[in-house]
Structure 1
Amino acid sequence: MIVSTTDSIAAMSQILSASFGPKNQGFQVGQNYGSINTEFHLSPERPETPPQPFATIPFSRDPDFVDRGDILDQIDKRCSEPAGRVALVGLGGVGKSQLAIEYAHRIAVGQPDIWVFWVHAGTQARVEEGFRTIADAVKLAGRNQPKADIPQLVYSWLSNERNGKWIVVLDSADDRDVFYNADHAHGVTSSDARDRRPFATYLPQSRNGSIIVTTRNKDLAFRLTGRHQNMIDVGPMAQADALTLLEKKLGSLANPDVAADLVEALDLVPLAISQAAAYIQARAPRSSAEKYLAEFRENECRRVGLLGYSGGDLRRDGWASNAILTTWQISFDYIRSKRRTAADLLSLMSFFDRQGIPEWILGNPEIASDAMGPRGEDAGKLDDSGSALLWRYWSRVRRLFHRLHNRLSRHPAHPTTVDEPDDHNWNDNSSIIDGETNGTRGEFEDDVAMLRDYCLITTNEVGDEFEMHGLVQLSMRKWLETCGQQETFKQQFIERMAASFPTGEYENWVKCSNLFAHVQVALGYKPSKETCEIWATLLHNGGWYAWSQGRYEVAEQMLGKARNVRKKKLGAENLATLASISLFALVQIGRGRWKEAEKLFVQVMETSKAKLGTDHPSTLTSMANLASTYRSQGRWKEAEKLEVQVMETSKAKLRTDHPSTLTTMANLASTFGNQGRWEEAEKLEVQVVETSKAKLGTDHPDTLRSMNNLASTFGNQGRWDEAEKLFVQVVETSKTKLGTDHPSTLTSMAGLASTFWNQGRWEEAEKLFVQVMETSKAKLGTDHPSTLRSMNNLASTYRNQGRWDEAEELFVQVNVDTQMLWH
């Protein structure tokens, strides 16, 4: 009879087939009337000869590798310690794996008695695969048994110091769940006991071994290495290293004239540089470094196209994309799946300038509500100088109402995690930036911590400002576009900035300076219909600040767009529109375009008279501005007539010490001075200076301007000592408060230089005139009237020193440029 055994049927069948052939399986006996008990004893596995140490690095050595400072030395130092562990931490594409590959090959070549094992640690399945590779490499006994516990076998082998020294590289260990989520099974063959055991416990702390981790996740890096000192931050390359990499990748196609600009445009990220080089080589000779850079700078759409290129790279994992944008979007997907509010926060940050992103704008849920501002006719509650007094009042009332409404109707915050995200399904519009659904301060900090852990943002030393790589922001915006959420977060950015960026008045300059870079970014965004008025408000205030700083080019761009949007949405006669037109006209004055400014101010003045009346402060301001254009064109009588009218009305309606009245008095004094009426000018200027000091302070720009005018009047009367003393005070204060290159500072420096010139102090005058001329050229342009004036003054200084050739050259240049300016 045939009797089965308790051993596996498969094993028995294999043995019996070998003994009796395929058609005669089982045990043969004669007649038997009792029971028969049998046992099969499988022969043990044939012992395998242990191999000599070797490396299982799946990538060849990179002939274009660039040694980046002392990073490899740091790795070697930590791996030389007993049970050494080290993690290379950084953003995707910064070269962590390339550093690990190079180090692994150096060990394999230089120390052949050390085992080098490579494990791709992106998923649990691939870690299992990596451990199986190790088991096969060292020929572990029992590894082929059906119930073999491969991780335990590898762990035991690695823990046995008699097996020699080893290094394990855990590459792309980005997901904490791979190593620490006890609920996930390691594989279908794993036992229940091992299913509950974190994979990190299979990494021994053996004196004869070291572990190198490459990861984007700082938290996981710390968990796997145990100490922050074992973590090496890998960021973008130094410029010199980036240039070397580009030169190696491009060879003869590298253009040294544009190389530095190209690697800087690519944020010095190695993968981006390598892919750019691959793109150029694939399309040469029709493409070049210079053409690539020009295309890259065209617009955001073209940048996305170039960065989406995926050239082959033998030293990157076959499962990973070589395109830098896709590389980062994998991180966005992961963060979105684990913590939605962190993804929302990163989405909002991607619309700011890459540096100086203020925490107080991101973390305050009520800021966005302040951005709505007045609409329609309410938007006209601005005077022509843009003071926005009624608007500020309206905003404060609205802000108080919003806070009260929140307290009465607060509902629970949206959950901060999602178990099963639906492929970026963000139809639920509530988010971290919604205000009413924002979570606690602790949740905000958790969001920031996660983004920092994944190296997507960094903070300044104080921790109150954030920074992102520009290419990461671009990648994030493209990802949002794919998810259908780009407009949502762009709108949130515009609303928050509009609510946060103040008017361009002097008392707001510090705040404006800190936020202005973000307004410049907003200038390039195309707003939706819902946010275009808010966007116009932001650009109006940004242009106001830029004008006050003498940054006329960007001011013109911002105010031009604000004016156009307001004209289209609110109408040409709306007071908000007129406010933008007025500031735009002031910029034209700053750029020496008197006729353009005059035309605009006439329009503003006539509309203001019709809508507000002749004696309304806004109308008076427009009249004063128009008078300034007359004065700049040498039309003294017309300027004087308007200025007298404005001054008398301002005194009656606003009082004598009102800033607007003082400004008008100062303007009238300048007109007197232009006509040689020094005593009348001085009388007004003394009054303005004394009142301004008392009302505004000695270092206020308006006070400094009035002091400068008085100093000029002293000089024009031959009172050089008095003029010099006052000019020196104004120049020193202006440099501190306004900056060396501010137009008002340059005016005061030119006045002081003229004083030196009139005193025969040629060298001192020359030094100042040269400084003024060079700064004016850079700041205002070669053909600006102020620049031409400084060149003429310098030429006169050369002439008085007997330096005829230099004087003649400058005089000729001034004459040519002046003719071109007026024709």
Structure 2
Amino acid sequence: MQGSARVTPPQAEDRRITISHAGYNRAWAVWIADRLERYGWQVAFQRFDLPSGTPVHEALNDLLLVQGRILVVLSDWYFKLGPRTDQEWNEALRAVVAPNSARFRAVSVSTAPMPTASAAFGGTTELWGLGAREAERRLAQLVGVIEARDPALDTLSGARSPRFPMELPRVWGGVPRRNTRFTGRERLLQAIHDQVQGAEPGAGVVTLLGLSGVGKTQVAAEYVWRFSSAYDLVWWVPADQRGTLRQRLAELAPALDLTTGHEYGERLRAVGDALRRGDPHSRWLVVLDGADRPDTIDDLVPAGPGHVLITSQNREWGAYNNTHLLSVPVYDREESVAFVRRRAPRIGGQDANLLAEALGDLPLALDQTAGWLSDSTMTVQEYVGLLRDDEDIEAGLRVAVDFDVTYPTTFSIMLNKLREAVPEAVELLRLCAFFAPGAIPVQLLRDIPTEHLPEQLSGMMSDPLRWNTATNKLVQYSVIQWDPPNTDENPEAAGTIHLHRMVHKTVRSGMSEADREVFSRAVRRGLANADPAVPSDTRHWARYARIVPHLDASGALHSRHGEMHRLIANCLRYLYLAGEYTAGIQLAERTERAWREVYGDGHELLRELASQHATLLRATGEYARTERINRGLLQRLERENAGDALEVLRVLEGLGADLRGLGRYEEALEASERVLAGRVQMIGEEDFRTLNSRNNLAVTLRLLGRYKDALREDRRTLQVRREVLRARNSSTLSSETNHAIDLRLLGRYAEAQSVQEPNVEMQRVVMGPDHPQTLGAELNLALCLLRSGEREVANERLADLLERAERVLGEVSPATQRIAVCYAFVLRAHGRLDLARAIGERVVDRYRAALGPDHPYTIGTLANHALLLRAAGEREEALALNEQCLIRITEALGPDHPWRLGVALNLSADRNLAGDVESAADLSRDTARRAAAHRSLGRDHPLTLSCKVAHATDLRNLRQRADADRTEQEALSGLISSLGSQHVHTVSARARVRPFWDFEPQLT
């Protein structure tokens, strides 16, 4: 036969067919049903579950109750549910199926031998190992359709049809091998399927909750395999560490053929966008395995038309991402017995029940114990006796309240047997126990110098045969899971070992102190070898993400070795630069506790660590705390005459940043100038530390309103960074943003936008779309667009920015607050007063609580609130508030700071509206004069010209029309000259709309 088949549909009364299948073979049943429905059959499903107390012949008799034909999907899973012997099945098949053979048909989807009486089925065909076309042809013949040529019936048509079970989804990565011993969990698997399929787009998120060792990962893996035909993309990600999760999601980009560079920041953005759009695949499934810290990875959970499956021990997932929680309990006893008998066929039903009772029906313990008992001559009764009598094994961890035997006891007995058979496997396991539990990249094992490995392992690492023997035995006994390397996803990959938390804890607890030190030292050396030593290079961030999770478990924090100190410092620097502030703070605090234990107070390492800790804390807005840290360090250096001049400058630089955050800008300027001068003298102009100092000086100058001076320093820094660090370096990109901010604040809006637009695109590529530095660049671009008159675009961008910042950085982070302030005043300008008020008041409260009532940011956001009150018709309240703001901002920054001039501009309008025209004119005249004389504003700056427009209005209200016309004409000429005749500011001035000023917090 060539071509496709046209089939003659069965007669109406014969069109019903029921597919009986084991849950394990659901994908085959779904595909078969789809094919038969194309040929006119009415298909029903019956999942074949055979409880342990039900005779086989009764279950088969129940099948005969359905109407129409019965198609059985045969595999060893179908026959061994229960499990049952071949003899039981042969007797039942002869008694029930043989007399009704006309109603039965069967397809075999397994290579395992079937009971001999399977011939009782009216017809049987083999589908396993075939291609989709041949499988369909055989299926058509089996059910008795008449074949004929018909090109209109293409067997492979239909984009939404279930995939042929022998074919994997188009994109497939990281999924564990299917557990051919998986047993039970049918209702749970169906509940997962029903939940995600019935969810609205974006809400198809299910979290599997359960205690350690209960089998959450196995359930997730079985769901993937069982329902994979419904997806075009399946991606499995270890999610116990944020860095690992980011890395694995980024690796999805090339698998989707997305056009990106090598930086995973760009890849993350592209992957997130592709999943959200459902392009190129809308039927996707992402599994986040071991996600026990929702607060640290919630922002990375994919959104879109696909589905997300999470495994976790943390019930807090219920508050995130519209996720639906499903509990994974221990096995019920029937499942335990069935599993043990599949895992160890020599164990009978009674012994399986005895073992399940002793091990509390815990899947991990059952898996490991039954695995080695299957190879052992020990009886179950003897083993259970050991569990009761062995008092030499540490009590360890109880996995559940009703679990009588401790897990370490069960595991240690098995481990002793493994040591007798393959001692190298146990040594490898002991080495892995000094990495963190979860995913262990094999490359980190390869990075351990041979001379630091225990003798039994030194040869095995370079001998593929011995390596495979050891790992295969550990996999066989379910001690580890092994994912082979996928060079398509990651050319540098060497595979991954997955070590369960309970196994990890038990192995370590059973080792002597001497052995722990040997293995711990070996792992530390491997981590040190893996250190790229350049944490500022975004291309190395994926490698640091693999290292960071293992610092604690390896003992690196308590090590006295200089390599470990440098590694920790580099990891902290990476976490800061990558925007992982919370993880960095936690690592710094753990390191501080460890170093105090090792060295005591006052050691120079603690001083350097304190500076890094303060840098991370400062990024979260803890300015008062970081000032205390840095002042304490300076006092200690002076008191003890410790450290060199560069160390003093490092601490002083941190103090300058603290002072900027606290609003003490003159003090910060003094510190910044001192640090820059010292570094130029000691290490030269082009050293990266000097460039950082010049950058910080520019930040301070900008906060003081000295925009021209800031521009001069930023240009100088940008030029050297481009030459020394290159254009794609994160520091160079930061300098470009600062340059664009300076231009915008100087009123050079078109120039600023021309710099910021390509910079934002590059930031997204290099840093990632949700990195704090990228968010800051996008904020400046939104404000450039706003100042250029593209208000709707700016509004949309700010709304998206605020949502992302709150999701990634939290609602109270400094970056989020800056975005919220700007979004609130744009909302007010669009007339959305209620939302603007809610956001604005929330920001004011947070600034007041964090920085105090006299901080310029608190005063500035109150001035913005006064504008909202005026827009809402609460003019008296706005006037009173702005009067206070002017007094307080003058006290804080002096009479000529641009922020003070902006508040005065707004207050002059309030006074005018209140009828105090002369006072308004006096204030607007003084404000325009001060702005024109300002060293960074000058006569042609938009703020100066706005003050002139306001003053012209006040003069006109005083009936001084000649002066008003002259002042207005000067302002219009200046606006046309600097911004153009059609710019929004020019148009508003020509229409005699009184200008206003919005406070915008600056990066500190």
Scaled by the length of structure 2, what TM-score is found? 0.48
The answer to whether residue 387 in structure 2 is matched with residue 440 in structure 1 is no
Q: In structure 2, the residue corresponding to 1:768 is in which secondary structure?
A: helix
Q: In structure 1, the residue corresponding to 2:338 is in which secondary structure?
A: coil
Q: Quote the offset at 1:727 in angstroms.
A: 1.2
Aligned residue in 2 for 1:361 = 444
Q: Quote the offset at 1:696 in angstroms.
A: 0.3
| Structure 1 residue corresponding to 2:813, chosen from 778, 784, 793 | 784
Contact 1:539 1:561 in 2 (8 A): no
Q: 1:270 to 1:488 in 2, by over 3 A?
A: farther
> In structure 2, how many angstroms separate the alpha carbons of the residues matched to 1:790 and 1:296?
28
The answer to whether residue 274 in structure 2 is matched with residue 328 in structure 1 is no
Aligned residue in 1 for 2:171 = none
| Structure 2 residue corresponding to 1:618, chosen from 628, 647, 652 | 647
Q: Quote the offset at 1:796 in angstroms.
A: 0.9
% identical equivalent positions: 17
Structure-to-structure mapping, 1:141-160, within 5 angstroms: none
| Structure 2 residue corresponding to 1:774, chosen from 803, 812, 827 | 803
Q: Quote the offset at 1:793 in angstroms.
A: 0.6
Q: Quote the offset at 1:638 in angstroms.
A: 1.3
Residues 677-719 of structure 1: CA deviation (Å, up to 9, x unaligned): 2222222211111111000001111111211111111111111
Structure-to-structure mapping, 1:270-309, within 5 angstroms: none
Aligned residue in 2 for 1:745 = 774
Residues 484-530 of structure 1: CA deviation (Å, up to 9, x unaligned): 47957973685256424537744554444245256336557888977
> In structure 1, how many angstroms separate the alpha carbons of the residues matched to 2:784 and 2:748?
9
Structure-to-structure mapping, 1:463-474, within 5 angstroms: 464-467=493-496, 473-474=500-501
Q: 1:367 to 1:702 in 2, by over 3 A?
A: farther
| Structure 2 residue corresponding to 1:261, chosen from 190, 193, 208 | 208
Structure-to-structure mapping, 1:582-597, within 5 angstroms: 582-597=611-626
Residues 346-373 of structure 1: CA deviation (Å, up to 9, x unaligned): 454466567763222223440784xxxx
Aligned residue in 1 for 2:483 = 458
> In structure 2, how many angstroms separate the alpha carbons of the residues matched to 1:689 and 1:64?
67
Amino acid aligned to 1:476: V
5+ long unaligned stretches in structure 1: 1-62, 77-94, 123-128, 139-164, 174-199, 213-228, 249-255, 275-291, 298-305, 370-405, 407-428
> In structure 1, how many angstroms separate the alpha carbons of the residues matched to 2:57 and 2:477?
25
Could you tell which deviates more after superposition, 790-799 or 337-346?
337-346
Contact 2:676 2:693 in 1 (8 A): yes
Q: 1:131 to 1:756 in 2, by over 3 A?
A: closer
Q: Quote the offset at 1:104 in angstroms.
A: 11
The answer to whether residue 492 in structure 2 is matched with residue 476 in structure 1 is no
Aligned residue in 1 for 2:607 = 578
Q: In structure 2, the residue corresponding to 1:260 is in which secondary structure?
A: strand
Structure-to-structure mapping, 1:617-696, within 5 angstroms: 617-696=646-725
Aligned residue in 1 for 2:630 = 601
Aligned residue in 1 for 2:836 = 807
Q: 1:521 to 1:70 in 2, by over 3 A?
A: same
Aligned residue in 1 for 2:190 = 244
User: Is the radius of gyration larger for structure 1 or structure 2?
Assistant: 1
- How many residues are treated as equivalent by the alignment? 574
| Structure 2 residue corresponding to 1:338, chosen from 415, 421, 442 | 421
Q: 1:448 to 1:325 in 2, by over 3 A?
A: closer
Amino acid aligned to 1:709: N
Aligned residue in 2 for 1:763 = 792
Structure-to-structure mapping, 1:395-406, within 5 angstroms: none
> Which of 1 and 2 has higher RCO (CA within 8 Å, sep 6+)?
1
> In structure 1, how many angstroms separate the alpha carbons of the residues matched to 2:743 and 2:220?
64
Q: 1:296 to 1:711 in 2, by over 3 A?
A: closer
Residues 728-759 of structure 1: CA deviation (Å, up to 9, x unaligned): 12211111111111111111111111112222
Amino acid aligned to 2:486: E
Q: Quote the offset at 1:590 in angstroms.
A: 0.3
Q: Quote the offset at 1:267 in angstroms.
A: 2.4
Residues 82-112 of structure 1: CA deviation (Å, up to 9, x unaligned): xxxxxxxxxxxxx99999x999998898799
Q: Quote the offset at 1:312 in angstroms.
A: 5.5
Q: Quote the offset at 1:648 in angstroms.
A: 1.4
Q: Quote the offset at 1:577 in angstroms.
A: 1.6
> In structure 2, how many angstroms separate the alpha carbons of the residues matched to 1:756 and 1:547?
30
Residues 233-279 of structure 1: CA deviation (Å, up to 9, x unaligned): 4467999973436999xxxxxxx9997332798425359999xxxxx
Contact 1:239 1:263 in 2 (8 A): no
> In structure 2, how many angstroms separate the alpha carbons of the residues matched to 1:629 and 1:528?
27
> In structure 2, how many angstroms separate the alpha carbons of the residues matched to 1:575 and 1:445?
46
Contact 2:437 2:501 in 1 (8 A): no
Contact 2:798 2:823 in 1 (8 A): yes
Aligned residue in 2 for 1:80 = none
Q: 1:73 to 1:804 in 2, by over 3 A?
A: closer
Amino acid aligned to 2:748: R
The answer to whether residue 96 in structure 2 is matched with residue 69 in structure 1 is no
Contact 1:537 1:562 in 2 (8 A): no
Q: In structure 2, the residue corresponding to 1:718 is in which secondary structure?
A: coil
Amino acid aligned to 1:69: R
Q: Quote the offset at 1:641 in angstroms.
A: 1.4
Aligned residue in 2 for 1:186 = none
Q: Quote the offset at 1:665 in angstroms.
A: 1.0
Q: 1:167 to 1:701 in 2, by over 3 A?
A: closer
Structure-to-structure mapping, 1:492-503, within 5 angstroms: 495-496=524-525, 498-500=527-529, 502=531
Q: Quote the offset at 1:624 in angstroms.
A: 1.2
Contact 2:558 2:594 in 1 (8 A): no
The answer to whether residue 736 in structure 2 is matched with residue 707 in structure 1 is yes
Q: 1:509 to 1:311 in 2, by over 3 A?
A: farther
> In structure 2, how many angstroms separate the alpha carbons of the residues matched to 1:343 and 1:723?
62
Q: 1:741 to 1:367 in 2, by over 3 A?
A: farther
Q: 1:656 to 1:810 in 2, by over 3 A?
A: same
Contact 2:431 2:523 in 1 (8 A): no
Q: Quote the offset at 1:631 in angstroms.
A: 1.6
Q: Quote the offset at 1:606 in angstroms.
A: 3.9
> In structure 2, how many angstroms separate the alpha carbons of the residues matched to 1:233 and 1:105?
31
Q: Quote the offset at 1:556 in angstroms.
A: 0.9
5+ long unaligned stretches in structure 2: 1-19, 34-47, 65-69, 94-104, 127-165, 169-176, 195-202, 224-311, 318-327, 342-348, 373-413, 853-1004
> In structure 1, how many angstroms separate the alpha carbons of the residues matched to 2:505 and 2:442?
24
Provide the aligned C-alpha RMSD in A.
Answer: 5.6
Q: In structure 2, the residue corresponding to 1:269 is in which secondary structure?
A: helix
Q: 1:558 to 1:367 in 2, by over 3 A?
A: farther
Q: 1:507 to 1:594 in 2, by over 3 A?
A: closer
Could you tell which deviates more after superposition, 806-815 or 753-762?
806-815
Contact 1:598 1:629 in 2 (8 A): yes
Q: In structure 1, the residue corresponding to 2:758 is in which secondary structure?
A: helix
Q: Quote the offset at 1:645 in angstroms.
A: 1.5
> In structure 2, how many angstroms separate the alpha carbons of the residues matched to 1:612 and 1:671?
29
Q: 1:649 to 1:168 in 2, by over 3 A?
A: closer
Contact 1:368 1:495 in 2 (8 A): no
Structure-to-structure mapping, 1:791-802, within 5 angstroms: 791-802=820-831
Contact 2:805 2:815 in 1 (8 A): yes
> In structure 2, how many angstroms separate the alpha carbons of the residues matched to 1:768 and 1:166?
59
> In structure 2, how many angstroms separate the alpha carbons of the residues matched to 1:65 and 1:166?
13
Aligned residue in 1 for 2:941 = none
Structure-to-structure mapping, 1:93-108, within 5 angstroms: none
> In structure 1, how many angstroms separate the alpha carbons of the residues matched to 2:76 and 2:759?
68
Scaled by the length of structure 1, what TM-score is found? 0.57
Contact 1:783 1:821 in 2 (8 A): no
Contact 2:714 2:739 in 1 (8 A): yes
| Structure 1 residue corresponding to 2:582, chosen from 550, 553, 563 | 553
Amino acid aligned to 1:646: V
> In structure 2, how many angstroms separate the alpha carbons of the residues matched to 1:230 and 1:443?
33
